[in-house]
Amino acid sequence: MTKLPPRSLVIEWDQKLRESGFIDIEDRDSPREMLKSWHSTLFIHRFDQERFSARQQYFELVTQFLHSYEFDSELEREIWFLHSEGKSLREIAKITGQVSKDGALKIIRKLLRAMKDGTTSGH
């Protein structure tokens, strides 16, 4: 457990930082010291409405495919199910314990091609 510095020391250094022109992005007056604002363009680009809608539509199609496709094996079906739940390749590999993340990616890519082509069976 780390020991916090005395409040007087924090106040002293905050003052020195302000005097040097430093602008703190955290709200030190708040008990949780949250960020003062969310102005990151990364956040805006990653979570815009169009991208959110596209991702939602993608997962709807993936889920439909899960229920309509005749998988080659239970492992293939499980990997696709976990993918439809938004699990990462690393999580899929860990949960199944039967494939590496690269193996999971290979199966997902195969199934994505089948989904795109409108194939109903892997046989």
Q: Supply the pLDDT for residue 97.
A: 96
DSSP state for residue 76 in the 8-state scheme: H
Q: What pLDDT, in 10s, does the model give residues 44-92?
A: 666 677 888 888 999 999 999 999 999 999 999 999 999 999 999 999 9
Residue 38: which residues within 8 A CB-CB, separation 6 or more?
A: none
- pLDDT of residue 18 exceeding 70, the answer is yes
Residue 121 backbone dihedrals phi, psi, to 5 degrees: -150, 145
Q: Where are the domains of the chain?
A: 49-117
